[in-house]
Amino acid sequence: MVQPFHLAIPVNDLTAAQQFYGDLFGCEQGRSDSEWIDWNFFGHQLVTHKVASMPARLSPNQVDAQAVPVPHFGVVLTMAQWQQLAARLEDAGQRFIIKPYIRFKDQPGEQATMFLLDPAGNALEFKAFADAKQLFAR
């Protein structure tokens, strides 16, 4: 089993973070304080830390003819998990930076992917592979 990662990100509104990560994504909330919340983010530890203002930092990078936001973070899901999450987000009316689609179709590393922003402007990517061995394919 891969060890879970720990990632701390800035947010400017913890209530909005609770609605997004807790309600929309269904992430279990862990420890919290008036300035931060721990989340079980698909088995990994994500911490949303309240900040006074968000740093300006998103720049696009072209990947498969799409403007991918940099920086971004996310997780690799199973295809079934990815399809369920994509449907859940679409049903909730979530806006996407890059709508769910298959990237690198019929090429090494073919993957399902989608990009969105959390309420604080942090960019997230969720991806899945029909064949998990394609994760690092060239």
Per-residue confidence in pLDDT tens, the chain, 138 aa: 689 999 999 999 999 999 999 999 999 999 999 999 999 999 999 999 999 998 887 789 999 889 999 999 999 999 999 999 999 999 999 999 999 999 999 999 999 999 999 999 999 999 999 988 888 888
Q: Cβ distance 12 to 52 under 8 Å?
A: yes
Tokens of 122: 């942090």
Largest CA distance in the chain: 48
pTM of the complete model: 0.92
The three-state (H, E, C) secondary structure of 95-112, written as one string: CCCEEEEEECCCCCCCEE
In order of their start, the domains of the chain are 6-50 (3.10.180.10), 59-134 (3.10.180.10)
